[in-house]
């Protein structure tokens, strides 16, 4: 599996211009204003996680995936590497952008609302992993290009349904804030972390099954 990681790292090096652009955008957002810190971290975390999906596009190019399967690498190992890569990129991206936010805003501001904002951005990690949990099986089954489009349509539908439910229930921003303030955030974070692990592992096993049935 180590060879697969080396391969993907080399592939991502070819996208260094895209990485640099994402980093520059993150820094600009951090410098734009105090309200942009959480958005910048979320943006950088989720966009970086997507690079795990793009490596599959490179693998499929010119029948490369079929060639990979002739090497001493099992299909389960291939899928596992993609999920580990996605989780690693997500965690690293969050950490890098959180540190960048601290540097851009100044360590002194950590005594105030900045520290709370950065802690609050931990929610972007499970969001990015959830995005990968949906996207990776689709990309594995349908291929990189078709899988990405299907994933985007699915997310658009999910967002539209959630938005419609909020509108139908007549929830106001104040009501949502009051509900959030009444939550036990320690229990919430523990529940979110456990749910994310379960969903991500479930998605992994689905990805393995789909990969085992895939014909080249």
Percent helix, strand, coil in the chain, to 5, is: 90, 0, 10
Q: What is the pLDDT of residue 108?
A: 46
Q: Check if the beta carbon of residue 16 is closer than 8 Å to that of residue 100.
A: no
The per-residue pLDDT for range 125-137, each reduced to its tens digit, is 998 999 999 999 9
Which residues does the chain have with pLDDT short of 50?
34, 108
Burial class (CB in 10 A: 0-12, 13-18, 19+), 35: exposed
User: Whole-angstrom Cα distance, residue 139 to residue 145?
Assistant: 8
Nearest to 120 by CA among 12, 26, 42: 42
pLDDT at 90: 94
- In tens, the pLDDT along 180-207 reads 566 666 777 788 889 999 999 999 999 9
């Amino acid at each position: 599996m180590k060879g697969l990681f080396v391969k993907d790292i080399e592939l991502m090096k070819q996208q260094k211009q895209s990485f640099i652009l994402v980093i520059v955008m993150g820094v600009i957002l951090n410098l734009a204003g105090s309200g942009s810190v959480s958005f910048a971290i979320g943006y950088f975390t989720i966009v970086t996680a997507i690079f795990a999906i793009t490596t599959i596009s490179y693998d499929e190019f010119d029948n490369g995936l079929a060639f990979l399967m002739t090497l001493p690498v099992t299909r389960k190992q291939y899928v596992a590497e993609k999920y580990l890569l996605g989780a690693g990129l997500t965690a690293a991206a969050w950490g890098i952008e959180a540190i960048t936010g601290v540097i851009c805003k100044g360590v002194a501001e950590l005594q105030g609302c900045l520290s709370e904002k950065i802690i609050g951005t931990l929610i972007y990690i499970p969001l990015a992993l959830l995005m990968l949990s949906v996207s990776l099986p689709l990309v594995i089954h349908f291929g990189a290009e078709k899988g990405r489009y299907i994933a985007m349509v699915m997310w658009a539908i999910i967002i539209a349904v959630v938005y419609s439910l909020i509108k139908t229930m007549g929830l106001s921003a104040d009501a949502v804030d009051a509900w959030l303030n009444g939550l036990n955030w320690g229990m919430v974070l523990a529940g979110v972390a456990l749910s994310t692990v379960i969903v991500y592992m479930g998605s992994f096993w689905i990805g393995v099954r789909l990969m085992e049935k895939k014909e080249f």
